[in-house]
Amino acid sequence: MAKEQVLEEEKEEGLTLEKFEEASEEVKKVTQETKLVYSEYFSAATGNKVYFKPENMQYTGAYKVRGAYYKISTLTEEEKQRGLITASAGNHAQGVAYAAKLAGIPATIVMPTTTPLMKVNRTRSYGAEVVLYGDVFDEACDHAYELAAEHGYTFVHPFNDLDVATGQGTIAMEIIKELPTVDYILVPIGGGGLCTGVSTLAKLLNPKIKVIGVEPAGANCMQESLKAGHVLTLPAVNTIADGTAVKRPGEKLFPYIQKNVDEIITVEDSELIVAFLDMVENHKMIVENSGLLTVAALKHLNVQKKKIVSILSGGNMDVITMSSVVQHGLIQRDRIFTVSVLLPDKPGELAKVSSLLAEQRGNVIKLEHNQFISINRNAAVELRITLEAEGTEHKNRIVQALNDAGYRPKLVKSKGTYSD
């Protein structure tokens, strides 16, 4: 069957302008208004007019409630009475749980055993029954299908569903109503539901709008599928953007992505860490790693003087992860660094180093003083100093000052790497 024929048949099921208009009215019952936020910081940095669509401000902390609620509105009474089931490690779980609660329908959510406790508790707080199963999403999803077959539940897929994609696409309706002259819309891609809905509606309303999908470099299943010309499964995924850590995109969505998405950009995890810091410092916003994909992608666009909207898909991040991301972001930007020097083992040497650092306006965060690194009393004490600096230039001045004073400083790399 030709791709065009598939598209025409599936449009009758879900992705039509009439369905998007219907969904836009329906989701207003469960969503908070997320007006565009103009970013002076990113506009100046990129030479464009940059706006954010802050779906991280939704009640459930992400856009997923849109697709879940609209999907429920399309179900028959018999399908609703059977109860809902889905699989998710976070945002879709909370979206379905919350939407089901408002609709008065029982919901069962299968979540991987590795899901952070905060997300599990939040899902339960909406009244859903949570089943913990498997180490990864794929295992949880297989188990959810088994439970659906066993108990007759109605399965609500996280992304590979045209009604779900239609609900997610209501974001595009809001963007274009508020900013009719938008040139580019950047959309995170995991399985492809959000990008399918947004790109399809954007092209229906204005074919001139460029829609750019953004994936983690370590989970670029859509990019690889587009290259191959068919849906394929990655052997593994490795990214801190857990909400988009998907091995295989949705088959039902793929023809729409092929037709409506102008480009796929991939982003490294290290870029997400810096983007988190930028959003906290410049916009006082908490955005989860998957939601930061479209922020990090801004510097990859080779355009000027365009109106660009980056969709911030969610903000569900636990405090421990948050603190780790902040620390690694400061290290990457040379705002925090550690240097090691050797001192003679005699009184007053520590005071000399402290005085030198004070002259260079280096703020000491931590000191480690080790007397037993050497038996040579002329250079027997290792002093490891963790400092706060204003950036790379300031850091280099501090290191040079230590070197000029004869301390032969060595930069110490931070131990370990960040993981979600």
Question: Which residues participate in catalysis according to the annotation?
Answer: 64, 313
Report yes or no: 271 and 325 within 8 Å, Cβ to Cβ.
no
| Integer angstrom CA distances of residue 42 from 106, 132, 238, 295, 407 | 43, 40, 28, 9, 40
| Integer angstrom CA distances of residue 369 from 24, 346, 351, 374 | 62, 13, 13, 13
For residue 49, list its beta bridge partners: 307
Two tokens, residue 22:
């219907």
Return the DSSP state at 73: H
φ/ψ (deg, to 5) at 9: -65, -40
Q: Give SS3 for 85.
A: strand
Two tokens, residue 56:
């991280």
Q: How many CA atoms lie within 13 Å of 47's alpha carbon, on the beta-carbon side? A: 7
CA gyration radius for the chain? Answer: 25
- Region class of 47: left (phi > 0), else alpha (psi between -120 and 50), else beta: left
How far is the C-alpha of 232 from the C-alpha of 197, rounded, in Å? 21
**Cβ atoms within 10 Å of 238's Cβ, excluding its own:** 12
How far is the C-alpha of 212 from the C-alpha of 214, rounded, in Å? 6
Burial of 192 (0-12, 13-18, 19+ CB in 10 A): buried
Cβ-count burial 23-61 (b if 16+ within 10 Å, e if not): bbebbeebbeebebbebeebbeebebbbbbbbbbbbebb
